[in-house]
Structure 1
């Protein structure tokens, strides 16, 4: 009989404890050992393949290869077989030889460059055509096109042009369209260049302040016509005939002065082996011996192609230079702002006392954004890509810094640098080997989106699972459903395999590719399930769009770079375990004594003047905006006015209790539309209409200014100001309406929003629809949309009653000549015929046409389910980030309008916004007023808007209330014209005592009609009585009656 072994509980506990100790010791030993590793790697560069993504450009090249147009999908592109004639010399013509058409401000211009030399060029603005003749092309074939140009001061966005070849531009017909050799030539970008406006300085809290970015305008640039999306590595090829050819640039956005335009032969880059052989033959056989590596700080970059590439602070490692445990020290550059293809950063290495020769180049950098992927950079030495392998330098994912030396997988590359002078080293963000997979996924998105819209045109958005909609098979009502699924699934499988091959590992980045592939193959096997899975199918298509955004995130943080003769001499990439731990402990305890609420500024000379300014955060604004304000205060306001500013960033809810307690600010920025009048009723806020400059700032002749004889109430100071280049202030009339109370004005406009229509041009063009100009045309379009089971969007409050008036109803009311109130704002005006008609029409869209009460316009606009809708114009910001796959596929349009009895189209729309106010408790009211008018001026608002975009990109475009500042922002001419026209027709909604009951009860009436099919007129009349009762009550409460 076997004997049982009994294990004592104490033994088990000891064994577990021992195991835990062993694991603990092993874990920390590993960490400590790893922390002493140098963490040096090579960039694993290699010779890139010539990769041309599928699409219009590839088809163009296939046609030039000789493949028949009806067989393009049957044959691969053979790049080597393309006819690319060699030129003995580039053929170049001067910019001043241009002819122009439909141009605004085009013509010869003289520019003094950075060397003091006067250069003749041809100025092109943001609208019009400029054409050059390229003479004497000896042989027809494919060539590269390049420009020599100066960027001109404008909105600060990249310069955008379209290139037409041998098209005869009609000077008499501005509406005529012309053929591009391929679509991609319609979206070309040419870089601007920026540098720090000054050195990095410290604020009053000893934090480093980010220097403002200053554009470099006096330096000539050379750029080839190339892919703005980054999918294609090499410059574009265009086809020229033998003899004379014309090249026409159509302006789309921003201004540039063209010194020359030319063509060049396509030339393949030499390999690294050929490069080293070249310099070996010149006598440079060994790497130059240096006493010590030359270190260049990342934040000391001399120029960059985007203002978002500013110096940043990194506190993840104590070996950063400079560094502090809690304070902001700007010690690196790039980060998650350095992602867009074409974005370049340039550093300067001083070799004035060193010999010419071969040197190694290394970067202390990290890519900690895209796990499982690497970031790719193209390397330039003195503005030239030295050899083919320099096109692809990999920076793999790592949570810590690495010292990355440029080289292949086995050895570092030695670069030739000239001695006795300063050399430049540049890194340019590029998609590299990820370009083709991303392009393929974009093609799949377009393919599946088109199929999805064709399916829901048959099934609707909520199909019955029991009905056979004939989505496939012989009698299919939708063409090539299963074939499209098969094609898309095969491409996604290929992309997933390619990503794994490129990255060398399987990561979460291929999960959505596999999910969509599985769903597609499953629907092929079970086609009757298609209608049941449309919702998840649509979501997966959107997820593919997000995948593209994620993989495009080619982020890279550079703390420093080295030029060295021996990479073994370079220091460790990170501090060791003990140094890092001690750094973290000190930071933890110091954080309890550091004021994170206060935003530091630069103190002025002690004049005894100081004000406290609060910036109120919201859903879309926060500390980044406050930091931008701090920079502007330090750079301009404090210097100009000699007034110190104590800036704090707080939540909006803090203002009221602080004001009641007497601890509030002197000035508050970004207060909600209804707050100024609400506080004015309680005597907590200043009436600013009595300050002498009020008329100059607002164009309104207030009663107090009129009494002083400063203005005439009969004049309108706003007339003509929009075209005055010296004018600082201009607001449309709607901007000040919400801030007027009892004859005074209690705020100045900070931001202003208004409604416009958003239209998916690709869907409208494919179906031959026209954009509606009136509400009657909207009703007709809704019928067309419903045939395809698509929708028109009108914004409605998400749920419940709200005090904010619905802007669609307000727009309809104003278009009919109605108003919100009458009798000096003492009672509601909703019982008039104009208001009743507006309310009926508004409700009818939901009762008769089944408009959704709750829907994500952003999502549905992205998928195309709602190809047209009305929203605030700053939805642009969200679309820029959230839906990059539909960029260039949508546009703005004015609000639908109503014809009046004079047959005039009235498309007024309601406006909203935020304000800047002065609290009643402000001690130095003159200084507070100086700050307010400085803040709303054209120069300050322009600088603030550009500063925000330099930090956060186009997604943070500021919806300034200053019209002159708005015109300085990087809108295209077409966008600006539409937005200014609609803005000018916007109407402000007055704020009155008890006015919150207007929005609330209007919403209640609307919900009752839509949910219970109640009579609109009778229902609105019921709620008018409640509105009037509340207005009367509040007027008595505040002693107005």
Structure 2
């Protein structure tokens, strides 16, 4: 077992290590600031491409490679330098985009003039394609690659261009598989106003033209560009892309050297010796020249010191630090200076997003890092808005030389200083997984208190490895404190984990009784990693101050803050968003989603719906579904509600609280927009009481690299799953746990009888389905629990499993290092007698309803038809993703809109195949007991070892007891059990043919 684990460590470690990769943004409000205390050149370039730390060089000898044997850039660079690869040389090679040597078969490439640039490669790919260039190198050395490119800006392109860059057929390091070429976005100003005089968040516009940039990692883990070591002679560079773009030129050159501050000042000695004077130049941060990511959004800050400030009105006046926190997110501003000379820089920042933890920014002037201290400038934690002067350890402001006229200043998010520590923690997460697997193999997953263990005899080396983990955590904690400047929540979390490990080692023979502690510790470390991966920083203003002048006051004074506090306090009593204030002259729409969703819908309704229909719409935020119950009881209800969970419409329909949508004459037209199986939860008593809005698709996620290594194919049926599981488990891998729905629906079993009065679990098909579900764990040894499929999938320990739409978004956003390593496919199914594989499966739905008490039923129906139409759903989804990024991908239930969102065609085809088999469980009185009692049945059969048939019989009795009680309550049966009115549930037993027109090769 241990030998197998060791052999597979090279496979399961690396995907976690590449850590600075667009994780989920932090939601808190933030502060930044104060003075700089440790911004030496050495610290600023802690993990820069030019000066890797000694620890990283040593680590390169032992760190694991990824699944294809590729090291990480930090390790590969150390290896090259140790072998004597020079970074200073005169080698330089340039070529036009048109001078390519080869392309993939059928590649969509043309050569010509693009946007005024001649000899460009116009690459209009629709699927993954590659282009190769031949280069001749005269001098051996480390080379950076600069590229001039132009993204396609056709209105439906929002993703960055991801390149896989290989040299002579090899990816030299993992990061070369996912290199991001960003777009340029701009927020238009002045912002539009709504009917209340509040600003509407601007929609970022793609202003991308020709852009020149050095190739760098997509996660912001290194300050400087990526490098490749090239020997004299001919080499082939291959670029594989996922997005169309035009390529103007490629240049290979020596890495640019960035001097330290003292050297830079000596080089500029004599310039403007008298110093500059005059008024400070003030830049409003929200009015940037461009930003590299559309989701770096603006934020309304109501502190009176934030400008511009308009009393009682929403004004988007700052950069939202929680959205400007990951990857290489960059913002640039342009300003004019009256005379050449030296200037100081100050910023009004906010950095209170994570307690006591610093954030880092690379600061560039006129496109270049002026000196090494600006590579990763630290912004320490503060509790409120702070004025920050860019200064050294002695609190002396840095001077920046600027030429008269137009200049630029740019700031890029970077996690370079914490990259080595993140790499160590990622490895520790995997090591804890391995130790937990060892314990499971030893104990058989059972904590038998009557057995005596001798851990060092039965698991040789186990405690030594656990002790090494504790020592490594201790070293990482000290490094983090040094980089951060103080202890923070992460270092405190590491301290408690170290303490937990030491307590286990105090009595090693007790460890087998405490296997759950390893899962807990692994979760703690993974949670701390997520915190380290973000570098949030809010920004209000930038000050360019002449050398001879003092910094202006960058913070509001005490009395000014008190004034702002009172103003905001009294303004809070004038809220325009009170749900109880219903306007009879407009259509009142409540939405159970976040503020960004609300504002965008209001804007869209005012732009399209009202001019077309003449119906005024007021969209309000519904913070909690419980308010619907309370306000309905108070005879206050909206006309329309959106974003409701799939169980809620039935609960209101059975209480006569919703409008039966089948009463509208054109209901059938709307019905055809959606898969028949998405309507089933909204059916009651021959009517439909909600319209599907969004749905979460369950898909089979698989690691291409690991399955290929093991010689396994993506399973098409459950029989093929059972055949592959022994191979996975022999290599200490497994499949993710699976819920019950596919086993029931695919085997022809229903959850309720056709009349809706009883469960259908205790049928032959029901027993067969339940047995197959529990056999997956009892017979085929799939893990009963999994702390995080996402983390296990990234690490490679669970390379296959069924998950929902959120998994797709999470992998796309937070795991770009796995680009090309994973795929999705329709879930495994059951082959039918005709040869077709049935893949029935549902997914969580959100819905729209019309309340019964509305006096505007026809107007409400017009709104729902407009809202759920393909045109509006596509526009809404596109705008939402432009403003907030890929993590806000809109999973609309309207298939025509869905296919026009920016999906990879390969992924889209898989989703569409699964869409054919979409079916949700219908709702009946008491059906809320179903999920709970099925889980209880599973526990009895899998955990307690009770016969599956007896267990399911017990569950059936419990569910039907609750169903009878609720049916009597709602007059469906009488007190004696006599049926007063059957429910007659809809049947969906054929795959949806409405998908077929949208499938593309």
> What range is the shorter-chain TM-score in?
0.7 to 0.9
1:260 lines up with 2:249 in the alignment: yes
Match status 1:630 vs 2:602: yes
Equivalent position of 1:395 in the other structure = 379
- In 2, Cα distance between the equivalents of 1:787 and 1:818? 33
2:589 pairs with 613, 621, 624, which one?
Answer: 613
Counterpart Cα distance in 2 of 1:857 and 1:165: 35
Match of 1:309 in 2: 296
Residue 972 of structure 2: aligned partner: 1034
Report which structure shows greater RCO (CA 8 Å, sep ≥6).
2
Q: Distance in 1 between matches of 2:135 and 2:79?
A: 34
Q: Structure 1 pair 472/516, CA: closer, same or farther in 2 (3 Å)?
A: same
1:289 match: 277
* 1:295–1:844 CA distance, 2 compared to 1 (3 A): same
Contact 2:34–2:382 under 8 Å retained in 1: no
Which residue number corresponds to residue 715 of structure 1? Answer: none
- 1:335 aligns to 2:335 (yes or no): no
Is residue 355 of structure 2 the alignment partner of residue 412 of structure 1?
Answer: no
Pairing of 1:329-728 with structure 2 (within 5 A)? 329-351=315-337, 354-410=338-394, 411-420=396-405, 422-464=406-448, 472=456, 477=459, 480-518=461-499, 520=501, 527-566=508-547, 569-597=550-578, 610-616=586-592, 621-638=593-610, 641-650=613-622, 651-656=624-629, 658-659=631-632, 662-676=635-649, 679=652, 684-688=657-661, 697-698=670-671, 700=672
Q: SS of the residue aligned with 1:874? A: helix
Q: CA–CA distance in 1 between the matches of 2:243 and 2:385?
A: 38
Partner of 2:675: 732
Q: CA deviation at 1:144?
A: 1.3
Residue in 2 that maps onto 1:245: 235
Report the more deviating stretch, 915-924 or 748-757: 915-924
Q: Corresponding residue for 2:134?
A: 134
- Secondary structure of the corresponding residue to residue 320 of structure 2: strand
Q: Deviations over 1:481-524 (max 9, x none)?
A: 35534543443333223223323334443223344445556666
Who is 2:193 aligned against? 202
* Closer, same or farther: CA 1022–489 of 1 in aligned 2, 3 Å: closer
Cα deviation for residue 146 of structure 1 reads: 2.4
Q: What whole-Å deviation, never above 9, does each CA across 1:951-974 have from its counterpart, x for those lacking one?
A: 665544433212344345555555
Q: How far apart are the structure 2 equivalents of 1:409 and 1:588?
A: 40
Distance 1:92 1:883, change over 3 A: closer
5+ residue gaps, structure 1: 1-37, 168-178, 701-729, 796-807
- The 5 Å alignment of 1:782-797 reads 793-794=736-737
1:329 offset after TM fit, Å? 2.9
Q: Do 2:277 and 2:549's aligned partners in 1 also have CA atoms closer than 8 Å?
A: no
Rounded to whole Å, the distance in 2 between the matches of 1:666 and 1:82 is 70
CA shift for structure 1 position 612: 0.8
Shift of 1:794: 4.1
TM-score of the superposition, structure 2-length normalised? 0.80
Q: CA deviation at 1:656?
A: 4.7
Cα distance per residue 1:854-906 (max 9 Å; x no partner): 77555984788866544433245577899999999866453221122233332
Report if aligned partners of 1:442, 1:885 keep a CA contact under 8 Å in 2: no
Distance 1:265 1:569, change over 3 A: same
Tell me how far apart the structure 2 counterparts of residues 694 and 110 of structure 1 sit (CA, whole Å). 51
Shift of 1:148: 1.6
- The 1:396/1:840 distance shift into structure 2, 3 A limit, reads closer
- For 2:769, the equivalent position in structure 1 comes to 838
1:61·1:77 contact (CA, 8 Å) conserved in 2?
no
1:918 aligns with 2:907: no
Measured against aligned partners, the alpha-carbon deviations of 1:656-684 in whole angstroms (never above 9, x if no partner) come to: 55456653222110123244455556664
Structure 2 residue 255 is the aligned partner of structure 1 residue 323: no
1:545 CA drift (Å): 2.0
Contact kept, 8 Å, 2:37 with 2:392, in 1: the verdict is yes
- What is the distance in 1 between the residues matched to 2:348 and 2:930? 60
For 2:892 and 2:863, the matched residues in 1 are separated by: 17
Instruction: Give the C-alpha shift of residue 550 in structure 1.
Output: 1.6
- SS of residue in 2 equivalent to 1:903: coil
Q: Distance in 1 between matches of 2:880 and 2:808?
A: 15
Which of 162, 165, 171 is equivalent to 2:164? 162
Residue 41 of structure 2 aligns to a residue whose secondary structure is coil
Give the distance between the partners of 2:202 and 2:830, measured in 1 at CA: 50
TM-score under structure 1 normalisation?
Answer: 0.77
Of 287, 294, 298, the match for 1:300: 287
Q: Which of 169, 194, 210 is 1:220 aligned to? A: 210
CA distance 1:971–1:947, shift in 2 (3 Å): same
Equivalenced residue count is: 922
**What value does the CA root-mean-square deviation take over the aligned residues?**
4.5
- 1:98 and 1:130 in contact (8 A); partners too: no
Unaligned runs of 5+ in 2: 1-32, 66-70, 974-978, 985-1001
